[in-house]
Structure 1
Amino acid sequence: MFRIGVIADAQYADKDDEPPRLYRRAPAKIAEAVETLNHAGIDFAVHLGDFIDGDAKNFDTVLPLTAKFTCPLHSVLGNHDFAVAEDLKPSIAARLGMPTRYYSFEHKDWIFVVLDGNDLSTYGWPHGSAEDVASRKLKAERYPDAPNWDGGLGAAQLAWLEGILAAADRAGKRVALLCHFPIFPENPHNLWNAKDVISLISPHPCVKLWLNGHNHDGNYGVVSGIHCVNLKGMLDTEETAYAVLAFYADHIALKGYGRQPDLTLALR
């Protein structure tokens, strides 16, 4: 058994509240969560994206707070993390201490896959770049009605993910997928190509969990035996929202803090 700590959508910005978004309260919530999680016996922590909003200088306030984790912190890229100057967008992953925009790591008998749901998007790349132009063209052709604040996984990332999952199946590993965006249940916050992603991951028995943020109200569903857990956002609550996930042989026990409810996820 092992435990991890998970936070979603802290979304700090140095600007007045826009209820229910309580921007300037985020640092105190982050500091409290770090302190609590440091005493919860976790092996590592995850932030599921939207660490800041509106300006890259906001990283200067929140990164020193998460630097106080006594365990490793893995970050996931969210759409608001790219609400920065165009020339800074290519450096956001490095600013968050990520080796690349998407990657995987192993812990015990699990593989954790950090996905980049901004890979296809109208905001995640410098305006006019090859990635930006291709994303906008694809959206216009295939996803014209999808919100601009959502995104998708590109072809290269999907091929990489398929390889990770095939290898995990062969090795008898279990896999947890970490993304800012949901794929299930059906919701306006879902990845543009959520159906394609579900079709890709469903045949792989190694996949047990999809863990995401983005929809601050939270959500939960099961598709093809895969638990899809949308944590509630930390930003828009008077209290807080985060969780500790305990990984057992036959289930995952999610203990919620603040407005995040508890969940027990039986493993297939």
Structure 2
Amino acid sequence: MPPPHSSAPPPPRPAARPFRPRAAAAMEPAPRFSFGVIADVQYADAEDGHDFWGRRRRYYRHSLRLLRAAVEAWAAERPPPAFVLQLGDCIDGVNARSGAAEAEAALGRVLAALGRLRVPVHHAWGNHELYNFGRARLAQSGLRSRPPPGPGPPAAPPGDCHAYHFCPAPRFRFVLLDGYELSPLGRDADSPRRRAALRLLREKNRNADLNNPAGLEEPQFVEFNGGFSRAQLDWFNDVLRFSDENQEKVVVMGHLPIHPDASDEVCLAWNYRDALSVIHSHQCVVCVLAGHQHDGGYCLDSHGVHHLTLEGVIETPPESNAFGTIYVYDDKMVLKGRGRISDRVMCF
């Protein structure tokens, strides 16, 4: 995604040794489980480029090397993470300029790198995946990570929405949202869903370039963002109601941030307020994880929900990195960041 208007990225932090929580020394229980997080790899077999405004360097080839380094680090952890969240934009839109074969090759290299892990990888779909492929192709690719249905509410919303939930441990549920279900991206030119998304976008954005937020009252209404359908939000509400009733803690994830204090306004989901309204009508959500804004962001909202936006790999210098492991306890999540991503304790 085009990043916010900001200065050059901060200098890299020194490389950290693999984190192994020592519960005995801290006199607290061991973590229930851990999982890896990474966002905005945006790999392409191309020379370095720049962001939408020509201000920030993008390391297209090095991003794959950094992904491979993250995989090696996760594989070396003891115990290893139970799964990894890839928060979208794993390949860059520049691949599409060279044709479908180049896009398929780039995706194949990213999936091969992640395939070295012996744990599940859950994939959000971002705008850059949709620059390269239609939704039908993504649904048949290695980026369709939906697990088999289990007990509880419906596993997914109706239609081609790439949203689902899963339980990695008792009393913990993860919900993946599809922030581009409402979007012209990835849909056929004559698709009614595409036409409806374009009508909404043009009502909110009268600029000739629909990726230009200049002068907008709601600057999130640009084409590189998207939104959630009413059907998806109703399904999301049902999942959270089930989690409330069963005293579960819920982590929400997706490509697009949904809180303005954890993101530049330009990078928010179109109808982020609707998603927040669903979350705040329940007690179970403890954290929302997102990518899209390459500088990252964080806030603890007025309802006690942590919103963490991960820094993007694509704008990370080759000598650094941008990934992390989150250790989950009964009352908190502890992020051990690598490179540009800072350590963080999120209590709930």
User: Could you say which TM-score interval applies, normalised by the shorter chain?
Assistant: over 0.9
Is 2:347 aligned against 1:266?
yes
Cα distance per residue 1:10-67 (max 9 Å; x no partner): 1101222114211011211111111101122211111000011123321022111111
CA drift at 1:103: 0.8
Between 1:47-56 and 1:133-142, the stretch displaced more is 133-142
**Offset at residue 147 of structure 1 (A):** 1.6
1:12-91 paired onto structure 2 within 5 Å: 12-19=43-50, 20-40=57-77, 41-54=80-93, 55=96, 56-57=103-104, 58-84=106-132, 88-91=134-137
1:209 to 287, 308, 326: 287
Q: Which residue of 1 aligns with 2:38?
A: 7
Equivalent runs, 1:220-239 vs 2, <5 Å: 220-223=298-301, 224-238=303-317, 239=320
Structure 1 position 128, deviation (Å)? 2.4
Bigger share in strand: 1
Measured against aligned partners, the alpha-carbon deviations of 1:228-265 in whole angstroms (never above 9, x if no partner) come to: 00010011111210010001111110010011011110
2:54 aligned residue: none
- Distance in structure 1 (CA, Å) of the matches to 2:126 and 2:75: 24
**Counterpart of 1:244?**
325
Q: Match of 2:70, SS?
A: helix
Aligned partners of 1:82 and 1:200: how far apart in 2?
Answer: 26
- Structure 2 gaps of 5+ residues are 1-31, 51-56, 97-102, 147-160, 207-215
On the 8 A contact 2:201/2:222 being kept in 1, the answer is no
AA of the residue aligned to 1:197: A
How far apart, CA to CA, are the structure 2 residues paired with 1:172 and 1:161?
16
Q: Pick the structure with greater CA Rg.
A: 2
Q: Structure 1-normalised TM-score?
A: 0.94
Q: Which runs of 5+ in 1 are unaligned?
A: none
Q: Given that residues 77 and 93 in structure 1 are in contact (C-alpha distance below 8 angstroms), is that contact kept between their aligned partners in structure 2? A: no
How many Å apart are 1:94 and its aligned residue?
Answer: 3.1
User: What are the within-5 Å matches in structure 2 for residues 111-190 of structure 1?
Assistant: 111-141=173-203, 145=216, 146-186=221-261, 187-190=265-268
CA distance in 2, matches of 1:71, 1:28: 20
Q: Is the 8 A contact 1:90 1:126 kept in 2?
A: no
How far, CA to CA, are the matches of 1:178 and 1:124 in structure 2? 20
Give the counterpart letter for 1:255 in structure 2: K
Could you tell me how far apart the structure 1 residues matched to 2:300 and 2:205 are? 24
* CA distance in structure 2 between the partners assigned to 1:143 and 1:14 by the alignment: 33
Question: Aligned residue pairs: how many?
Answer: 265
Is the CA contact 2:201–2:223 (under 8 Å) kept in the aligned structure 1?
no
State the SS of the aligned residue for 1:45.
strand
3-state SS of 1:153 partner: coil
Letter of the structure 1 residue corresponding to residue 256 of structure 2: F
Shift of 1:143: 6.3
Secondary structure, in 3 states, of the residue corresponding to 1:181?
coil
**Is contact 1:185-1:220 (8 Å) kept?**
no
**Bigger Cα displacement from structure 2, 156-165 vs 118-127:** 118-127
Change (3 A) 1:102 1:143: farther
Quote the offset at 1:127 in angstroms.
2.4
* Percentage of pairs with the same residue: 34
> What letter corresponds to residue 135 of structure 2 in structure 1?
K
Matched residue type, 1:44: F
Q: Is the 8 A contact 2:127 2:224 kept in 1?
A: yes
Q: Distance in 2 between matches of 1:241 and 1:93?
A: 27
Contact 1:114–1:178 (Cα < 8 Å) also in 2: yes
Q: Identify the residue that residue 168 of structure 2 maps to in structure 1.
A: 107
Structure 1 CA distance for aligned equivalents of residues 179 and 42 of structure 2: 17
CA distance in 2, matches of 1:127, 1:204: 38
Whether the 8 Å contact between 1:89 and 1:126 is mirrored in structure 2 is no
